[in-house]
C-alpha cells in the first residue's frame, strides 16, 4: 500500500494548513494529519511548504480558510516575533512548532504559537510505559539542540525528574541548554556529565531521551558520550525506558540496539512524532486526543516506515 501524499489544490479542500520548514521532504507530518482528517470526514489538508521565505509564509496564513501550521527547522524560533501570543509550553521552550488560531472579542483572528514537541515526549512515555515509576528519579538527555530542550521540559514538568543529566559531544551546546532552561525557570538540577568516571558515581536513571542522529561515534568526544550512555544503561539500579527520538531513515538505531541488549524498554521516536501531531490536531480540530484516530495514525506511520527505501 502506497502512503504517498498528493498535494491538493486549495480549491479542492475546505480548509488548509501548512508544514513550513526546510528541508521537509522526508516529513511524515502531512501523512499523519491526512489520516486524521480522512478518519474524521474533514476535507482538510496540510500542504508542505519547503521554504525559507518567512514573508511568503506570513502572507499565505492570512487566507480565510487557513486553520494552522506545523513549523519546523529553521523557523521554530524565528516565527515567534510574528505571533500574537504563546502558550505556556511555547514560551517555556522558546520555540514554536505549531500555529493555531483564536478570535478576540472583536472577531479578529489571532495567530498563537505552542510547542507540542514536549507533549510528544510526555505521551510517548505515558502511553507506552508505566512512566510514574520514573517519578522522583534522575533522567538523562543525550543531545544539545531543540529536541533536548523539549525533553528537559517534559521530564521536569510531567515526569518529575529529580535531576536531569545532560550528555553531548559538544560542551558548549550543553552550556547553552542549561543557561536557556535556567533563564526560563526549569534549569535547576541539570547536570552536565562529561566523563564515564563522573557517570559511575551518579545515581542510576529511570528515563532517557536520545536526541541525536544515528551515527557511529568517531571523534573522542562522541565515543565518550556513547560510553557514558552505556554506563547508565548497565547500572544495577532498576532498568527504565529510553525514548529514541531518531527515526529517519530507520527507528532501529545503534542506541536502540545497545539499549535492548541492556534490557531497557525502548520507545521509538515515531511515538513522539505521533503524539505531538495528535496534540496539534487537538488545537486545530477542537477534539480531544482520545477522540482522534490514534490507532489508524500509528498504522499509517508504521506502513510508511516499512515501505522499501529507494
pLDDT value at residue 267: 96
Does 248 reside within a domain?
A: yes
pLDDT value at residue 201: 97
The verdict on 46 and 131 lying in the same domain is no
- How many separate domains does the chain show? 2
Q: Does the pLDDT value for residue 1 go beyond 60? A: no
Does 1 reside within a domain?
A: no
Q: Does the pLDDT value for residue 6 go beyond 60? A: no
The verdict on 81 and 126 lying in the same domain is no
d(CA 195, CA 207): 19
d(CA 306, CA 123): 23
Does 281 reside within a domain?
A: yes
Catalytic (active-site) positions: 76
Section 183-212 average pLDDT: 95
Q: Does the pLDDT value for residue 7 go beyond 60? A: no
The verdict on 95 and 35 lying in the same domain is yes
Q: Please provide the average confidence, as pLDDT, over all residues in the chain.
A: 92
Does 154 reside within a domain?
A: yes
Does 3 reside within a domain?
A: no
The verdict on 50 and 132 lying in the same domain is no
Instruction: Quick: pLDDT tens for 253-304.
Output: 999 999 999 999 999 999 999 999 999 999 999 999 999 999 999 999 999 9
d(CA 38, CA 43): 7
The verdict on 176 and 232 lying in the same domain is yes
Q: Which of 26-30, 180-184, 291-295 has the highest mean pLDDT?
A: 291-295
130's grid cell: 508505566
SS3 7: coil
Section 53-79 average pLDDT: 95
| Residue whose C-alpha cell reads 526546510 in the numeric block | 22
Q: Residue 220's domain is classified under what CATH number?
A: 3.40.50.720
The verdict on 22 and 62 lying in the same domain is yes
Does 2 reside within a domain?
A: no
The verdict on 195 and 107 lying in the same domain is no
Section 191-206 average pLDDT: 97
Nearest alpha-carbon partner for 120 in 53, 34, 28: 28
With bands split at pLDDT 50, 70 and 90, how would you rate the model's confidence at 133?
A: confident
Q: Residue 70's domain is classified under what CATH number?
A: 3.40.50.10860
Backbone angles phi, psi at 45, to 5 degrees: -150, 145
Does 4 reside within a domain?
A: no
Instruction: Quick: pLDDT tens for 92-113.
Output: 999 999 999 999 989 899 999 9
Instruction: Quick: pLDDT tens for 151-178.
Output: 999 999 999 999 999 999 999 999 999 9
The verdict on 159 and 214 lying in the same domain is yes
Asked whether the beta carbons of 166 and 193 are under 8 A apart, the reply is yes
The verdict on 46 and 101 lying in the same domain is yes
Q: Does the pLDDT value for residue 15 go beyond 90? A: yes
With bands split at pLDDT 50, 70 and 90, how would you rate the model's confidence at 310?
A: low
The verdict on 68 and 137 lying in the same domain is no
Backbone angles phi, psi at 151, to 5 degrees: -65, -45
d(CA 186, CA 65): 38
| Structural domain boundaries enclosing 209 | 119-269
With bands split at pLDDT 50, 70 and 90, how would you rate the model's confidence at 14?
A: very high
The verdict on 14 and 134 lying in the same domain is no
Does 197 reside within a domain?
A: yes
The verdict on 75 and 163 lying in the same domain is no
With bands split at pLDDT 50, 70 and 90, how would you rate the model's confidence at 134?
A: confident
Amino acid at each position: 500500500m502506497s502512503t504517498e501524499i498528493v498535494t491538493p489544490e486549495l480549491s479542492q479542500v475546505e480548509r488548509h494548513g501548512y508544514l513550513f520548514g526546510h528541508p521537509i521532504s522526508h516529513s511524515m507530518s502531512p501523512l499523519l494529519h491526512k489520516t486524521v482528517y480522512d478518519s474524521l470526514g474533514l476535507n482538510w489538508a496540510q500542504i508542505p511548504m519547503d521554504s525559507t521565505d518567512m514573508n511568503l509564509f506570513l502572507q499565505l496564513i492570512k487566507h480565510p480558510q487557513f486553520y494552522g501550521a506545523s513549523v519546523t527547522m529553521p523557523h521554530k524560533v524565528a516565527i515567534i516575533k510574528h505571533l500574537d501570543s504563546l502558550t505556556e509550553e511555547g514560551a517555556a521552550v522558546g520555540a514554536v512548532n505549531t500555529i493555531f488560531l483564536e478570535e478576540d472579542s472583536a472577531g479578529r483572528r489571532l495567530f498563537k504559537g505552542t510547542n507540542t514537541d514536549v507533549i510528544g515526549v510526555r505521551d510517548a512515555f505515558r502511553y507506552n510505559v508505566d512512566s510514574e515509576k520514573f517519578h522522583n528519579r534522575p533522567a538523562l538527555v543525550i543531545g544539545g539542540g531543540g529536541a533536548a530542550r523539549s525533553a528537559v521540559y517534559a521530564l521536569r514538568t510531567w515526569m518529575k525528574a529529580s535531576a536531569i543529566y545532560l550528555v553531548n559531544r559538544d560542551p558548549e551546546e550543553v552550556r547553552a541548554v542549561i543557561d536557556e532552561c535556567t533563564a526560563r525557570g526549569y534549569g535547576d538540577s541539570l547536570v552536565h556529565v562529561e566523563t564515564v568516571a563522573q557517570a559511575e558515581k551518579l545515581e542510576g536513571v529511570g528515563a532517557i531521551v536520545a536526541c541525536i542522529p544515528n551515527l557511529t561515534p568517531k571523534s573522542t568526544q562522541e565515543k565518550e558520550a556513547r560510553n557514558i550512555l552505556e554506563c547508565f544503561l548497565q547500572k544495577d539500579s532498576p532498568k527504565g525506558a529510553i525514548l529514541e527520538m531518531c527515526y529517519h531513515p530507520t527507528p532501529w538505531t545503534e542506541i536502540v540496539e545497545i539499549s535492548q541488549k541492556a534490557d531497557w524498554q525502548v520507545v521509538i521516536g515515531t511515538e513522539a512524532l505521533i503524539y505531538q501531531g495528535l496534540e496539534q490536531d487537538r488545537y486545530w480540530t477542537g477534539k480531544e486526543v482520545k477522540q482522534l484516530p490514534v490507532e489508524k495514525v500509528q498504522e499509517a506511520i508504521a506502513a510508511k516506515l516499512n515501505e522499501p527505501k529507494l
